[in-house]
Amino acid sequence: ALEQIQANVQANVPAGGQAQVRALSWGIDQHVFPGDYDLVLGADIVYLEPTFPLLLGTLQHLCGPHGTIYLASKMREEHGTESFFQHLLPQHFQLELAQRDEDENVNIYRAR
């Protein structure tokens, strides 16, 4: 996936812009990354319930005190996705539904 992400970044970051693509293992190596990002984006990363605490800890580390997180996710009942967004995330972040696609069953949440 990193090669595809790198290609997307190269195609969308203006010449002279700075962006870096690196792998991050939730709950393991987030501490090698800064802890004060203003913006964190995630898409389809909420899908395996045993990893939810690791993902939450990583998001808490990465998001600065004034940062915003946007997470887009297909709301798969079998993966416990709704539980993550309705019960776990709101315990640590101010959460709101930013957008919903009823046809695709995809939600975009904003967390601060």
Q: How many residues does the chain have?
A: 112
Structural domain for 76, as ranges: 25-111
Q: Which pTM was predicted?
A: 0.87
Give pLDDT tens digits for 40-91. 999 999 989 999 999 999 999 999 889 999 999 999 988 889 999 999 999 9
Q: Is residue 18 in some structural domain?
A: no
The alpha carbon of 63 is separated from its chain's Cα centroid by a whole number of angstroms, namely: 10
CA–CA separation, 108 vs 23, rounded Å? 23
d(CA 83, CA 66) in angstroms, rounded, equals 25
Judge whether 69 lies within some domain.
Answer: yes
Q: What is the pLDDT, as a whole number, of residue 64?
A: 83
Q: What is the pLDDT of residue 79?
A: 87
When divided into structural domains, the chain yields a total of 1
Long-range Cβ contacts of 86-95 (<8 Å, 24+ apart): 88/52, 88/56, 89/56, 92/56, 92/60, 93/59, 93/63, 93/69
Mean pLDDT, residues 87-98: 96
Kindly report, residue by residue over 29-49, the tens digit of the pLDDT.
Answer: 999 999 999 999 999 999 899
* 84 located within any domain: yes
The pair of three-digit structure tokens given for residue 3, joined into one six-digit string: 């090669």
Strand order in the sheet with 63-74: 37-43, 63-74, 106-111, 95-101
Query: Does residue 97 register a pLDDT over 90?
Result: yes
CATH of the domain at 40: 3.40.50.150
